[in-house]
A and B are shown apart, each in its own frame.
Chain A
Amino acid sequence: MTSMMERNVTVSRTALIIAAALLASPVLAADPIKVGLSGPYTGGSSSMGVSMRDGAKLAVEEINKAGGVLGRQIQLIERDDEAKNELGVQVAQELINKEQVVATLGYINTGVALASQRFYQEAEIPVINNVATGTAITQQFVPPNYKNNYVFRTSASDAIQSKMIAEEAIKRQGFKKPAILADSTNYGQLGQKDMIAALETMGVKPVTTEKFNIGDTDMTAQVLKAKEAGADVILTYAIGPELAQIANAMAKLGWKVPMIGSWTLSMASFIDTAGPNGDGAIMPETFIQLPTTPKRKAFIDAYQKAYNIDRMPSPVSAAQGYDSVYLLAAAIKQAGDTDGRKIRAALENLNEKVEGVVTTYDHPFTATDHEAISANIPVMGLVKGGRVVPAHPEDLEGANALRVKPKG
């Protein structure tokens, strides 16, 4: 008799659950919010692309676990642009027209960003660049030439980086004869121009400016020229493999001066290929894999656990990718809608303070300023024993650990 009762109870409880599920299903089955994620997950810059993607995925998982945004889950639509401009354009069109994303995050390569983001601008869908650093990226569609700018950024632009490089070399470390070595791509040449301009404001002229191509295997000539010009420091704007060739050529020639350059000196392909020759290289970093704040500790722990690794391939990309998702989620929440125009307006006047890995974002964007990272946020990192550590530990100690964009 009792067992009969129990069964009845069980049956009715099951029915109740089913009924509840049926009632709730319109909410549960609400369409996910689709967010595009475009980056090179294969190829020479894939360590940055993959880290960015993994960081973004981590943030999306956390947000979804906590109930999503506007009661809906976020769904990342990942597409590999292979760092190719034409492929980036295809991806943009697919994400906008076929997938109908509400916003897109990503872009590691400035060229791909510049070629692709006009489609978002036209479709009035926001793009948050979370790794690409070209200064022009956020300047393509500025008012008053365009009514609204749909391009945002959460990485440190080249204008900031080149200035930091010059300042570190001349003011902080007191070098007087810098030689500039940059690759022949847009990235290298524009960075070189910015660095020369920054040096000029300090009354310093580079003793020599050398160039090389992607894929060059012998840097003897470039390094010898820097040596003969009497350089006491080498400033670089290039990417991992060629930077490693510079470090190796210096070792070969038995000449060692410090290398200070853009954040690409923290690329795994530089650190691993140059090995001990790369030790001591210094670069601006928005994030160093160290638990200097509770948020950073939680992020590092979660990342290491989720992807079962110790060293993040590109900590900066991972952190910026992670933060870009939270900024977007906050904007969608504030907009109360997934309409691109409303999200853009919300991003430009974000009332919620977003606690990110890189910094705490308090009104990070305005209608005229689409750069979340200001010059005071990045610190100098140093390659040491195959990892990036702070070049000046005091930069990340105590109250300095959390660097926030100044108001206004």
Chain B
Amino acid sequence: MDIFAQLLVSGLAVGMIYAVIAFGYQLTFSTSKTLNFGQGEALMLGALVGLTTINFLIGQKIGTFWAYLLMLPVVLAFGLMQGAVVEWLGVRQAIRTKSEAGWIMATIALGIIFRNLAENIWGRDPLKFPSPLPERALQFGPVRIQPMEIAIVIGALLLMAAVELFNRRSIYGKAVVATANDRDAAGLMGVNTSMVITFSYALSSLAAAFAGVLVAPVTLTGAAMGAVLGLKAFAVAIIGGLSSGVGAIVGGLILGIVETMTGFYISTGYKDVPGLVLLLLVLSLKPSGIFGKATIKKV
């Protein structure tokens, strides 16, 4: 039982990271029915920009904890900008010409460019990210948790709650929701839908960049860090449903926990298999995802 609890906690932390990135996929899909396949790269860029910023701040004799907090707005702003650039360069044209696949190629290509850019700026070595919290694990009964793992769970939930609150309460958020529900109708009601889509991309990269600086202190930062995470989060988004914020969280937790459990109870060699099996199951039984709304596409 103790081991089960320990695995559950570790899976939870990993799952929440998947959830935040998947949440980013869901943001752009709801408004524009397109995805940023460079989401993993957005995460990586966020983490690396965060690393440079936090190292600069620490160089200014600011403690690691405060440096981390001060670094956050920089990274979030960078994420917003990066997402807007992706939409502007890769997606807008495809949406305007109603291209079915143009945005797929464009966002993948941009992702590769971003990765090469990062390799040239930060090099290809994995770098250590200073941890804002003590790295000593805390003991909760039989379970040991790193403080940063708790921060990941809380941070991820806060970010998603903030975005959801914004969408539901603010007038701008209402425009986002309106666009998500029916882009043409929203356009006729005077909503600048192309602006809303740009904004959703910005928010999506913001979520990814935030996930990047959340996960960086427990892993390593480097140009290649986004590839695996971006892909797994995509599976999470499919499992949970691309049209549901709750789906991202549930999907993330399912995948994270299933992975660690399989690693222990079955074999670490097959750790990634159940997640993929789950993905196939969902795709064949409920293609819109566990929490997704079934959509009928009129041709």
Contact = CB atoms under 8 A, between A and B. Distances in A.
Nearest to A220: B10
Contacts of B218: 217, 248
A254 B123 contact: no
A76 B224 CA distance: 30
B6 A217 contact: no
Contacts of A228: 3
Nearest to A82: B124
Given A184-B269, A212-B268, A218 B10 contact: yes
Contacts of A224: 3, 6-7, 264
Output the residue of A46, A248, A252 with the most chain B CB within 10 A: A252
B125 A245 contact: no
B225 A215 contact: yes
Nearest to A221: B263
A221 B14 CA distance: 12
* Range of interface residues on B (Cβ < 8 Å): 35 or more
A269 B124 CA distance: 12
Contact of B220 (A46, A213, A273): A273
Contacts of A215: 224-225, 227-228
A44 interface: yes
Contacts of B128: 272-273
Contact of A252 (B14, B137, B269): B137
B272 A269 contact: no
Contacts of A245: 219
A254 B220 contact: no
A253 B6 CA distance: 9
Interface string A236-262: 000011001100100111100000000
Contacts of A241: 126, 220
B116 to A, nearest CB: 12
A224 B13 CA distance: 16
Contacts of B3: 224, 228
A222 interface: yes
A269 B126 contact: yes
B268 A211 contact: yes
B126 A217 contact: no
Contacts of A218: 10, 13-14, 260
A46 B7 contact: no
Given A42-B124, A44-B125, A184-B269, A252 B219 contact: no
A211 B269 CA distance: 5
B19 interface: no
A244 B222 CA distance: 15
B144 A254 contact: yes
Contacts of A395: none
Given A221-B7, A222-B268, A254-B144, A46 B125 contact: yes
A252 B215 contact: no
B137 A220 contact: no
Given A218-B14, A221-B260, A222-B263, A43 B225 contact: no
A22 to B, nearest CB: 47
A213 B123 CA distance: 22
A47 interface: yes
Contacts of B261: 221
Interface string B192-224: 000000000000000000000001001110101
A232 interface: no
Interface string B38-78: 00000000000000000000000000000000000000000
Output the residue of A220, A245, A253 with the most chain B CB within 10 A: A220
B139 interface: yes
Nearest to A273: B128
A285 B265 CA distance: 36
A225 interface: yes
Contacts of B267: 211
A210 interface: yes
Contacts of B184: none
A254 B145 CA distance: 10
A220 B260 CA distance: 8
Given A42-B124, A44-B125, 9 more contacts: A44-B222, A47-B125, A184-B269, A220-B6, A221-B268, A224-B6, A253-B144, A254-B137, A273-B126
26 contacts: A42-B119, A42-B123, A43-B124, A44-B124, A184-B269, A211-B268, A212-B271, A213-B272, A215-B224, A215-B225, A217-B14, A218-B13, A218-B260, A220-B7, A221-B262, A221-B264, A221-B271, A222-B263, A222-B268, A225-B263, A241-B220, A251-B135, A252-B137, A252-B144, A269-B125, A272-B128
